[in-house]
Structure 1
Amino acid sequence: MINITKLFNPDGSEADPSELPMVPLRDLVLFPHMISPVFVGREPSIKALSEAMANDKMIFLVTQQDAETLKPKMNDIYPVGTQAKINQLLRLPDGTVKVLVEGQCRGKISRLREMDGYVTAQFLPVTDIPMDPSLTKASVRTLMEAFENYAKISGTIGKSFLKTLSEVSKDPGALVDTMAAHIPLKVADKQMLLDTPKLEERFVLLLKMIEEESEVVTMSEKIKGRVKEQMEALQKKHYLNEQMRAIQKEMGDEGAAPQEYQDLERDIKKKRLPKEAASVVRREFEKLKLMSPMSSEATVVRNYIEWITSLPWYRKSRVKTDLVQAEEILNQDHYGLEKPKERILEFLAVQMLVKKIRGPILCLVGPPGVGKTSLARSVARAMGRSFARISLGGVRDEAEIRGHRRTYIGAMPGKIIQTLKKTGYSNPVFCLDEVDKMSTDFRGDPSSALLEVLDPEQNPTFNDHYLDVDYDLSDILFITTANTLHDIPAPLQDRMEVIRISGYTEYEKEKIAHGFLIPKQLKLNGLDAERVNFSHNAVLSIIKEYTREAGVRNLEREISSVLRKIARHIVQTGDDKLKNISARTVAKHLGQPRFRNGVLEKKDGIGIVTGLAWTQAGGQLLTIETVTMPGKGNVKVTGKLGEVMQESASAAVSYVRSRSLSLDIPEDFYKTLDIHIHVPEGAIPKDGPSAGIAICTAVVSVLSGMAVDRKTAMTGEITLRGRVLPVGGLKEKLLAAHASGIKRVIISHENEKDISELPPSIRKQLDIVLVEEMDEVLSLALVEKK
């Protein structure tokens, strides 16, 4: 026996529910005023019907929430059912019982009780809550109009039933229930109507359901009509094609193929194809000849054959093998970039010794504007190969790499095959730009599709979904570019040889400006060296004060801006004299300086430490300020810092607490002082472990009262025990330190191997100190007692 809840009358007194034998229904909701046949096959339900027939023929019908439940309990049925009268009962030969029932009123179940082989339900009859008379009349009229519209659209409701409805309309409750019973609604929707005692809410619910059902029927009819029209058009086209064939037969030219087919057959015979591709093309061409030229399928087959025959299967450009000339071309196009150039020359040297090598997959990683794409173009020129660039930024669909299946409308090969057709050679230099900008969605993972393209073990048998035959990509030299490595999936990284291009020093930028950018922009702006001259200091001023980048893209943009203003002046005034651009006149053309380099403090300060940071634009100084104030030992870190830098600050403070005695710091400082660590320029996001030792030095300085040497910068990660760990981006950081007037830089001993990347001239001017423990850092950086 299962209790649910007590039921109460409207005056608050506890109600006495009725009790009748219960029959749970599957996928059927019986409404009051509804006569419906019900087929019963479960033994408890048949016994319940027998008990009802033996008494007053009254039964309580309720709907199961899950039609598959064999023995429904209280939680398996809806709480509201219908009290019904059995009008007729017929036992069928297969043991089931067909019973004709008539719904009388709603009932809300209070509990179930198991009897001898069947279940009874105790319920309280639910009466309809009437509406306002004026609202009733309007609601009935609106509902009738909606139902008549549905009947007209669907064609499933007879006119006799509509007449019956007009008679029932005097009883609003009966009208709603009768309509709901004759509309193909979901069981859950019908049960919702049965659960609603308020007539006003029931009218609104049913009206909404009728409108939705009418919309579904309307759309269904539209779709059927559209399909019918398409079928008629196809049948008409087929009939006309057959007529045309019959006319050709009568005229004696049935076997004559159209001129287009003859040209296609000639192309197939002339084209040198692999065995598999040749077999597929011949088979498709034989199929094409049997089709009507006007059919859509013939167009698909013809396009496929044209794609196969237009690809450069064996056509290769002649590769240059003169190393001296190749090196000259690379140096002409780019200043610096020694490692990428060295790798290309190595590849050419090996190619001279071996007839065919598997194409290497080079990945140039570096910030924007350092010349990754232009270097790939120079490689193609140096090797005498054609150049092709494919931008992968924003590619989401795997089919853009592998192609579409021919079963799809508008199917095309992937970008690899399309670009090969454009180049006309099977051994070009392919630049896959922005390989780190690909994304994944429901259309597949394009980075996974690239695995086959970029794997030397797999790309000799690359299979495009559209071609569906193997194509050899091993002769292609793939060069990929990316801004960062961590956005490239690890399996894809594993197939590429990574070459990092960290950016240019100020010295290199100046050389690039005078050797490449200024001559190029002079030509583009209609000027020449006899009219405009940039001084050494002018270029340095633009680099330092108007650009902040690792590459030279913005530098070129600013030079172009200066030249445009000069060109305008020449056109307006006719002044054709030589214009000397100096550091002083740069501001006249470009306005006030936009950036300032890291500036040293004017004097040694307490709690102020100069750190070094790496950004996409290169290295920069990172001033770390620390103050203390009376408090309870809280540590506050500000300056838009990332999680890693927040952790470095916590580790630094913990180290200072653990070493307070040896550092001559009061042991209980964490009980009486709050520490605030701040990194200025908070709008710039900062993250990474580089500032660990700098934060620790600042904390020790402010707690001990010792000042920090303003001309000493430091970078490194700190552990809880005071070890100094290595960090990345050292070359850029040391260049920034030198440009800002720093004399001494403290780094981890494990970073010693990275010093060799620094230009010798810079290395001589910096005192680079290698340390292993935090104590060494403090002895070098702290200079005097307050």
Structure 2
Amino acid sequence: MKKQILPLLALRGKMVYPNTSVYFEVSRPKSMAALEQAVNHEQQIFLVNQIDPSIDKPDQEDLYTVGTIAKILQMVKAGQGVLRVFVEGQTRARISSYTEVDGCVKVEVEELPYTGYPETPVEEEAFFRMLEEGAEEFSEKNPGFFAPQLQKAIDERDLRSLVSELASQLPFELGKKQQILEESDIKQQIQSLLAILTEEVEISIIRNELAEKVKKNVDKNQKDYLLREQQKVIREELGEEDIVSEADEYLEKCEKLKASKEVKDKIKKEIKRYKKMPPIAAESTMTKNYIETMLEMPWNKVSRDSKSLEKAMKILEEDHYGLKKVKERILDYLAVRFLTKKGETPILCLVGPPGTGKTSIARSIARALNKKYVRISLGGVRDEAEIRGHRKTYVGAMPGRIAEGIRQAGVKNPVMLLDEVDKVSSDYKGDTASALLEVLDGEQNINFRDHYLEVPMDLSEVFFIATANDLSPIPKPLLDRMEIIELSSYTENEKFHIAENYLIKKQRKLSGLTKKQVSISEEVVREVIHSYTREAGVRNLERTIGQLMHKAARKIVEGEKEVDIKKKSLKELLGPAPFEDEDENLKPQIGVVRGLAWTSVGGDTLSIEVNVMPGKGKMELTGCMGDVMKESAQIGLSYVRSIAESYGIDSGYFEKHDIHLHIPEGAVPKDGPSAGITMALAILSAITEIPVRGDIAMTGEITLRGKVLPIGGLKEKLLAAKTVGVKEVLVPARNKRNVAELDEEIISGLKITYVEEMNEVIKHALKK
């Protein structure tokens, strides 16, 4: 057999037979190098196929051993480093040796001649006709199959060319094509080809039959739907069980769903639409998400409330110290539920400074009632769609937070906490607070409509609890729909009990410590409360106790077996105390009066200072005061001028002197109608140079005629006064009923003096 050395070019799925002409494209560096060598080798090249076409850099073991010696007829640049090559197959050959030189693979090949050729012209004609008939039958089932080269081989009655062209053109797998190439016996090669032709004709017949069946049921343009129907018919022909479609699953779930007829009809209508949609349509995904959301909603699914009043009381007492009014309201509600089986669900609004336990109370209520608990944070929410949901026609549409909360709970009667309801805002996208009106109105929320769901949703069994730091930002229509329960500031004694009963245990556990390893004395807790964490709530107190536990944990890790935290070691552990007793401020001073203020984080004391200096009768107000407070200062000045004569002040005094009223901490905004008597007294003291008692504080608004008006936030103000060591507090007489409601613990140690007129304030406060 003839041997020769030729450059090798590896093909990926493109088979070249002797006596055939083929186009293919080349882009790999080794293939480029092989073509370059072939040009210098009488245009001859050895073409062999890869066993796995996906390999980008094949080695010798990745190639078949039998290929075709071909002559390059044409090479054309196709752009971007690609060559389009036209070759003509000449003879078969087998690789006998394999070498790689300068980036090009060269192989020594030995030619493989054909054997077993038909012995007589009659036998040759018989084989030819069988192949021709098979090709024509295949062509009938697959129009456009006859290529010019195949027709040419038939016209020229060339058996070898016909075998090669048929093997090249028929759409069967690469492995079988390689087997035909490696077959040396012509008769055997023809028989294999005839078997493949017969098989391909049968496949074409079955495929065409399936296509005809499918065409009766689907639109010709729905290609994806056509493929699914073909698959369905194939499974029917094979006798396999039919796969239940998604739409059928949804229908089955819809039938089992506990919901009203209106809801079920809506879901079925959407499933029907979904069935008819092609999967590639954008609306298909949107509809699918909508159906799944509707099926997940607990339309008529409820959880059973606890029926033990004793258990509920025990849980509330376990979780929270004090808060008598809140606990009584919950127990009242429970009692009504037990008697009426349903009863009207209240909508509570817990109002108080940060850290007073508003959010944790809601969690305890859910535990006491054995209800699911869902928390929705409304702080900073300004888009109405956050509450009502988006229209489902929008891209990325989703239910509102209320509907989503119900879905998360899995029942239609959870405890739903609307946290920070006073911090919702409005913009061009709508008024969020107004959107909450329907949610929190017992007459309307039985048919609440979420824009995404598009069907009424019953919220009447949801136990809504809202929390807020301040009621003033909440619109009155929304406030009117809620029962307000105030959680005021904690006293030092209440903080002590909360720390002893809850916070120390919690922080000890979070730090991985045991009671035996670390102990904190009562005096340490009281010192932390008094000197390190003066606040309305207990959040900073818990944080500071956590710091002590962390310090103790470090000592345990360093080798100590037990850590006993003492009062004298607090400065070392926590640093200097940020708060000290202000004894020097309790001394009498001229033009300085201690006022009491309410803030959203608790009560506070503020010193109002007044200086008088020669001038032209101007009044200067500083300290970041609001309009209401500025007006109070003007009213106070007018009142002082009206009584100036009784204090021996010359009538021309005010035209010759400037008065400067200042409230320290100028960066902190201050406003509210409760500092009128304080500012009037400070102005009078500065003008008359009579000092004001330092151990007295006061709160109240003043009128032009000297009447003292009532104020709010009295508990917080009294606690603030007590904290700084004030002995006496002047309170408007009309606030007497508010003092009566306060615990003895708050007012003990304080002398509360009720005043109706400004002259009573002057009598008690000015140093005689």
* TM over 0.5, shorter chain: yes
Q: 1:466 to 1:520 in 2, by over 3 A?
A: same
- The answer to whether residue 617 in structure 2 is matched with residue 633 in structure 1 is yes
Moved more, 457-466 or 604-613: 604-613
Measure the CA separation in 2 of the matches of 1:315 and 1:747: 54
Task: Give the equivalent residue in structure 2 for 1:576.
Answer: 561
Measure the CA separation in 1 of the matches of 2:703 and 2:484: 30
- The answer to whether residue 761 in structure 2 is matched with residue 769 in structure 1 is no
1:262-317 CA distance string (max 9 Å, x none): 33232122222211011222223333333445544333333322222222122211
Structure 2 residue identity aligned to 1:580: I
Task: Give the equivalent residue in structure 1 for 2:377.
Answer: 391
Aligned equivalent of 2:358, options 369, 372, 379? 372
CA shift for structure 1 position 774? 0.6
CA shift for structure 1 position 778? 0.9
Task: Give the equivalent residue in structure 2 for 1:303.
Answer: 289
Counterparts of residues 87-166 of structure 1 (less than 5 Å): none
Measure the CA separation in 2 of the matches of 1:468 and 1:257: 32
Task: Give the equivalent residue in structure 2 for 1:544.
Answer: 530
Counterparts of residues 28-43 of structure 1 (less than 5 Å): none
Aligned partner of residue 426 in structure 2, secondary structure: coil
- The answer to whether residue 486 in structure 2 is matched with residue 528 in structure 1 is no
Task: Give the equivalent residue in structure 2 for 1:588.
Answer: 572
1:135-188 CA distance string (max 9 Å, x none): xxxxxxxxxxxxxxxxxxxxxxxxxxxxxxxxxxxxxxxxxxxxxxxxxxxxxx
Aligned partner of residue 783 in structure 1, secondary structure: coil
Measure the CA separation in 2 of the matches of 1:450 and 1:640: 34
Aligned partner of residue 742 in structure 1, secondary structure: coil
Aligned partner of residue 478 in structure 1, secondary structure: strand
1:304-332 CA distance string (max 9 Å, x none): 22222222122211101222221111111
Measure the CA separation in 2 of the matches of 1:778 and 1:626: 16
Structure 2 residue identity aligned to 1:483: N
CA shift for structure 1 position 356? 1.7
Contact 2:556 2:563 in 1 (8 A): no
Contact 2:521 2:565 in 1 (8 A): yes
Structure 1 residue identity aligned to 2:564: K
CA shift for structure 1 position 758? 2.6
Contact 1:509 1:552 in 2 (8 A): yes
CA shift for structure 1 position 239? 2.7
Task: Give the equivalent residue in structure 1 for 2:488.
Answer: 502
Contact 2:224 2:279 in 1 (8 A): no
Task: Give the equivalent residue in structure 1 for 2:387.
Answer: 401
Which ranges of structure 2 fall in alignment gaps of 5 or more residues?
1-218
Moved more, 377-386 or 395-404: 395-404
Contact 2:351 2:486 in 1 (8 A): yes
1:619-669 CA distance string (max 9 Å, x none): 233222223222222222333333222222211111111111223333222
Structure 2 residue identity aligned to 1:776: E
Counterparts of residues 247-396 of structure 1 (less than 5 Å): 248=232, 258-293=244-279, 295-396=281-382
Contact 1:277 1:469 in 2 (8 A): yes
Moved more, 692-701 or 510-519: 692-701
- The answer to whether residue 594 in structure 2 is matched with residue 610 in structure 1 is yes
1:425-462 CA distance string (max 9 Å, x none): 11110001111222222322222221111111111111
Q: 1:612 to 1:291 in 2, by over 3 A?
A: closer
CA shift for structure 1 position 237? 8.3
TM-score (norm 2): 0.68
Q: 1:307 to 1:600 in 2, by over 3 A?
A: same
Q: 1:600 to 1:650 in 2, by over 3 A?
A: farther
Aligned partner of residue 738 in structure 1, secondary structure: helix
Q: 1:625 to 1:288 in 2, by over 3 A?
A: closer
CA shift for structure 1 position 250? 7.5
1:677-709 CA distance string (max 9 Å, x none): 232333433222322112211222222232222
Task: Give the equivalent residue in structure 2 for 1:671.
Answer: 655
1:703-728 CA distance string (max 9 Å, x none): 22322222222111111111111111
The alignment of Structure 1 onto Structure 2 pairs a total of residues equal to 548
Contact 2:470 2:600 in 1 (8 A): no
Aligned partner of residue 736 in structure 1, secondary structure: helix
Measure the CA separation in 2 of the matches of 1:562 and 1:770: 43
- The answer to whether residue 614 in structure 2 is matched with residue 646 in structure 1 is no
CA shift for structure 1 position 473? 1.0
Q: 1:568 to 1:361 in 2, by over 3 A?
A: same
CA shift for structure 1 position 395? 1.6
Aligned equivalent of 1:756, options 729, 740, 751? 740
Contact 1:600 1:741 in 2 (8 A): no
Measure the CA separation in 1 of the matches of 2:596 and 2:667: 17
TM-score (norm 1): 0.66
Aligned partner of residue 708 in structure 1, secondary structure: coil
Measure the CA separation in 2 of the matches of 1:519 and 1:237: 70
Aligned equivalent of 1:684, options 668, 673, 676? 668
Contact 2:356 2:487 in 1 (8 A): yes
Q: 1:603 to 1:424 in 2, by over 3 A?
A: closer
Aligned partner of residue 636 in structure 1, secondary structure: strand
Q: 1:248 to 1:295 in 2, by over 3 A?
A: farther
Contact 2:618 2:657 in 1 (8 A): yes
Task: Give the equivalent residue in structure 1 for 2:550.
Answer: 564
1:454-483 CA distance string (max 9 Å, x none): 111111111112221111111110001112
- The answer to whether residue 467 in structure 2 is matched with residue 481 in structure 1 is yes
Q: 1:353 to 1:597 in 2, by over 3 A?
A: farther
Task: Give the equivalent residue in structure 1 for 2:190.
Answer: none
RMSD of aligned Cα (Å): 2.4
Task: Give the equivalent residue in structure 2 for 1:554.
Answer: 540
Measure the CA separation in 1 of the matches of 2:648 and 2:527: 46
Contact 2:622 2:663 in 1 (8 A): yes
Structure 1 residue identity aligned to 2:303: S
Aligned partner of residue 290 in structure 2, secondary structure: helix
Task: Give the equivalent residue in structure 2 for 1:622.
Answer: 606
Contact 1:257 1:289 in 2 (8 A): no
Contact 2:524 2:565 in 1 (8 A): no
Measure the CA separation in 1 of the matches of 2:594 and 2:428: 48
Measure the CA separation in 2 of the matches of 1:560 and 1:748: 41
Q: From the CA coordinates, give the structure whose radius of gyration is larger.
A: 2
Task: Give the equivalent residue in structure 2 for 1:435.
Answer: 421
Aligned partner of residue 362 in structure 2, secondary structure: helix
Which ranges of structure 1 fall in alignment gaps of 5 or more residues?
1-234
1:529-564 CA distance string (max 9 Å, x none): 222222233223222332242111111111111111
Q: 1:742 to 1:247 in 2, by over 3 A?
A: closer
Contact 1:366 1:501 in 2 (8 A): yes
Structure 2 residue identity aligned to 1:313: W
Task: Give the equivalent residue in structure 2 for 1:710.
Answer: 694
Measure the CA separation in 1 of the matches of 2:626 and 2:409: 46
Measure the CA separation in 2 of the matches of 1:389 and 1:636: 48
1:577-627 CA distance string (max 9 Å, x none): 241332x22111111222345555353222222222223342233222223
CA shift for structure 1 position 730? 1.1
Q: 1:396 to 1:699 in 2, by over 3 A?
A: closer
Q: 1:404 to 1:702 in 2, by over 3 A?
A: closer
Aligned partner of residue 646 in structure 2, secondary structure: coil
Q: 1:470 to 1:708 in 2, by over 3 A?
A: same
Contact 1:745 1:769 in 2 (8 A): yes
Aligned partner of residue 486 in structure 1, secondary structure: coil
Measure the CA separation in 2 of the matches of 1:594 and 1:414: 45
Task: Give the equivalent residue in structure 2 for 1:421.
Answer: 407
